Structure formats: C-alpha cells, structure tokens
Amino acid sequence: MNFREDGYAAVDWAADYLERVADLPVLAQVAPGDLSAKLPSAPPEEGEQFADVLRDLDELILPALTNWQHPRFFAYFAVTASEPGILAELIAATLNQVAIVWRASPASTELELRVVDWVRQLLGLPEGWHGHIEDTASTSTLAALIAARHVTGRDVVVCSEHAHSSVDKAARMLGMELRKVPADDELRMRVDDGLRLADAAAVVATVGTTSFASVDPVRELGERARRAGAWLHVDAAYAGPSWICEEERWSQDGVELADSLVVNPHKWLLTPMDCSLLWTSRPEDFRKAFSLVPEYLRTSEDVYSLSEYGPALGRRFRSLKLWAVLRCYGRAELQRILREHIRLANLFAEWIEADPDWELVAPQRFSLVVFRLNGTDEQNEALLQRVNASGELFMSHTRLNGRYVLRLAIGNARTMEDDVRRAWDVLRREAVTRARPA
Ligand SMILES: Cc1ncc(COP(=O)(O)O)c(C=O)c1O
C-alpha cells in the first residue's frame, strides 16, 4: 500500500463521514445476519488494495452501522468522538506504544499521569489522588473491587438496585457476594438502619445511574463505609465529566471520601472509545493488590509503571487522545458543550411536563430525560420501535417499578436544539399513529 496516499483517502473518508452522518439513519436498518451474508466466509489469499477496503466500507459496513456520531443519537448514553481525539487515535496507532513498564514508553506513562491529573483539576477532585486510564468503567470497577477485597479480606459488595450491571458482573467474576439495596423515591440508594456494611469489602455509590441518572448519597455512604472498614468506590462513569461545570458539583458531595472513583471521558468528555479514568486515594493499597513484576520486566524505575495499578500489562497510549481533546477544546469550550447538553435536556423535559399526553417519570438530572407516553407498556414499546425504525433518531428504554419507560440521553457534541425539537416532533407524530386503524 502507499501509506501517504491511502492515508489521505482514509482521512477524506472520515471527514466525509462526519459531514454526512446527520443524513444517515441513526439506528442500523438491517436484520441480524444481513452483513454476515455479504462477507466472504474465507480470508483473502492475496493482498488487496486499501482502496478495496474503503469501497467495502461504503458498500458493506456503512449500512450495518448504528451511527453513534449522529446528532440524533439519544440512546443509552450518547457520546462523541471529537476530531482531535480521532486524529490522536491515528497517531497512537502509528506509534503503537506498549506501555508495559515505564521504560517501554516513558511518554505514554508520564503523559497519562499528567493528563489524568489535569482532568482531576478540571473536575475539582482532591489533590494527591493517583489516577490512571483503563479501557472501560467495567474494568475500572473490577479493579477497584479487586483492591477492596485485597485490603479488607472480605467478600461482600453492596450497591443500589440501580447500580450498573458492571458491578454485578465484577462481583460475579470475582466470586463475591452482591448485596443490592433498594432505592428511595428519588432513585437513590437507601441509607438507613437496614444497611448492613459490617462484612462489606466495598460499597459502590453511583453518581448518575445508567437508567435514571440518579445520585446516591455519597457522603452518607462514605461515612458509613469508613466506620464499617469498607472501601467506597464511586461510579461516576457518565455524570463525572459534568463536574467540569461548577454548578454541577452538588453531585460531588462526599466524593472526597472515596477510596476509588471512575469517570469515563469516552462517555461525556468528547474522547473516542475507549478511555476510563480510575483514581484512588489509596495508591499503595492498589499497588499491593496488582503489583506482580516478573524478573524479565524488573527495572530500577518500577515505581512509575502503571501496569502495577490494574489488570493489564500491555497498555495502549490512551492519554494521547485525551491530551488532544483537552488541549484543542480547553476548559471553557468543554463547559459550554456540556452546559448546552444539560440545557437541551431540561428543555425537552419542560415539553414533556407541559403536555398532558406525556409523563416525566424520574427527577431531571444532567443530560438524561426519562419519560413515557400516557398509556400501556405495550404502547410505549411499540412507539419506541416505530421511532427507531424511522431512522430519524435512536432512543432506548428501561423499566421503573416494572413500567416500560423511555430515555432520551443527550451527549453528542453535534446535537443542536433543532435535533431535540425533531425528536419531540417524531415522538408526537409516532404517538398519534397508534390511534389510527391498521
Ligand atoms: C453508571 C455506569 N457505570 C458503568 C458503565 C459501564 O461503562 P463501560 O461501558 O465503560 O464499561 C456505564 C455504562 O453505560 C454506566 O452508565
């Protein structure tokens, strides 16, 4: 291949994609197996041109994409891979650093420490915490629970009924017992006399739950955990980036008591998948849990090796994209974008509240709106199916007290007020079609 020429073509492809993504369907309009049926079952015998790969990207792959970069992607938690992050990924792959120990990539190790500390400062987190990058919040939480078990020698994890499934999964993988605590009317973990922590290795408090963006009482949980000798892990994977805006720091109350904290820049800080930040206020305990340096990796600079703070030995140069994002946007522009997302979510929630055919079902938090059409679960489910089949927007659902509810999550930097208005128009249009005879 001609790297320079093919590279220009690939960057052109990426730029064209970002320009036209708003005209593509948001949810892939294909059935399971459609793409598989078109892909050759055997690998190529002889090498092809990179142009052939780009052609098939258009013809085969593109129709089978759900377009996460689309401004009307409102499902799960909407995300953004920003342009500086995309280009930094290209360079990270070019450099192919494998940061197993400091000397294997001094740049990756030291940039990671510095950039994660920049984010700590931007979010107003305590000084002195040790932070590093994991791939996902699932891994960060797994790592935190490993450290908690190592330190406490206990086997119980306590979390709210609304904690993310990654907590369940980590507990299951570790063979730990998971104790789920019911939530109160505001969907926060209930902290009362019934909360048993005496045998807990860790309490997981969530700031911004996946289904409802609710916020657990972190301070009370932290104080109770401390008295019981349990580790406090805070999962702020989604909502943590909002702390870049001072007015959102109400949800940070008590986070300074955390033994560990996870925040995902790949969710709401414009950084391409994958980038999850894991801080700990107890780095030495973390290190004791994870440090395992075989003879062939032993060096005099061991102290700097980030592989001693988590499960992976080979570590990607993830800090490069985060560095590029922070430098090209700066605090002010990141604040502006997140504030706009929150404003748009509040606006949408106002429309819902003002219309008697619709109901807000959870307190409004951050950039997520949880609501439903007045009607049956079946009607709401069918509505969501019609909306998503239109290709005009993509939303997802959850259940609250058994009832089927809809989620509109705003988190893409391309999302404008017009996109949110269009979502509201499509929802009302499709809600009316239910009344028409088949
Ligand atoms: C609150 C919360 N925690 C953890 C996760 C898991 O994140 P990841 O996909 O990075 O593992 C999610 C995913 O949406 C989440 O919403």
Helix runs in 229-318, H state only:
265-268, 283-290
Q: By C-alpha distance, which of 428, 320, 342, 360 is closest to 78? A: 342
Record the pTM.
0.96
Local confidence band at 369 (pLDDT 50, 70, 90 cut-offs):
very high
Dihedral Cα 344, 339, 140, 299, nearest 10 deg: 150
pLDDT at position 3 over 60 = yes
* β-pair type (156-160, 177-181): parallel
Separation of 57 CA from ligand 1 center, angstroms?
29
Local confidence band at 434 (pLDDT 50, 70, 90 cut-offs):
low
Separation of 162 CA from ligand 1 center, angstroms?
12
Instruction: Report the distance separating Cα 350 and Cα 373, nearest Å.
Output: 14
Average pLDDT, the chain: 96
pLDDT at position 194 over 90 = no
- Residue 247, Cα to own-chain centre: how many angstroms? 21
Percent of the chain past pLDDT 70, that is, above it, reads: 99
Q: What are phi and psi of 149, to 5 degrees?
A: -65, -40
Both tokens of 28, joined, read 């892939």
pLDDT at position 12 over 80 = yes
Say which DSSP state 60 is in.
Answer: I
Over residues 18-50, the pLDDT tens digits come to 999 999 999 999 999 999 999 999 999 999 999
Q: Which of 68, 133, 134, 164 to mutate to test the pocket of ligand 1 (most atoms within 8 A of CB)?
A: 164
Averaged pLDDT, 136-149: 98
Q: Which of 267, 273, 276, 365 to mutate to test the pocket of ligand 1 (most atoms within 8 A of CB)?
A: 267
Q: Which residues pair with 215 in a beta bridge?
A: 207
CA distances from 113 to 106, 132, 317 (A): 11, 6, 12
Percent of the chain past pLDDT 90, that is, above it, reads: 94
Separation of 7 CA from ligand 1 center, angstroms?
33
Instruction: Report the distance separating Cα 12 and Cα 415, nearest Å.
Output: 23
CB within 6 Å of ligand 1 — which residues?
77, 136-138, 164, 166, 206, 208-210, 235, 237-238, 264, 276
Nearest CA to ligand 1 atom 14: 210
Local confidence band at 435 (pLDDT 50, 70, 90 cut-offs):
low
Over residues 114-128, the pLDDT tens digits come to 999 999 999 999 999
At residue 369, the 3 state secondary structure works out as strand
Instruction: Report the distance separating Cα 348 and Cα 364, nearest Å.
Output: 10
**Helices 3-20/83-95 angle, 10° precision:** 150
Separation of 139 CA from ligand 1 center, angstroms?
10
Both tokens of 240, joined, read 């943590």
